[in-house]
Amino acid sequence: MESFTAVFTQDGDWVVGWVEEMPGAVAQERTLDEARVSLREALKDVLAANREPAREAGEGHGLLREPMTIGADVVTAVAKRVIARERLHCSVVGSDLDEAEIESAMA
């Protein structure tokens, strides 16, 4: 299973989220839980939209496709850096999300 980094911030009455590794995967909802659900759907849509043209472009070129996963150690190291960066960001911009919400969003 692939892991991605969800990043959330409060913007007025809205919770805005995006996937750090996937430009275009964004969501905006009234609650953090709603934003999480919408962001997962947005990520699925972006992955599907990118996958189809790539497959079509490779047709007839004798390409080898195989599953690729990232080890848990790499994901853990990236998540730690993201959490540290988000803590700094929240302290600078005064986000309404607390550290527990941010860490939960990264899970």
pLDDT in tens, 63-96: 887 877 766 665 555 555 656 665 555 544 555 5
d(CA 100, CA 102): 5
The pLDDT of 50-70, averaged and rounded, is 81
pLDDT at position 102 over 90: no
pTM: predicted TM-score of the whole model, two decimal places: 0.56
| Domains along the chain with CATH numbers | 6-106 (3.30.160)
Residue 103 CA, distance from chain mean position: 13
Note the pLDDT of residue 61. 83
pLDDT in tens, 16-37: 999 999 999 999 999 999 999 9
Instruction: From residue 63, give the alpha-carbon distance in Å to each of 48, 50, 54, 56.
Output: 19, 17, 11, 11
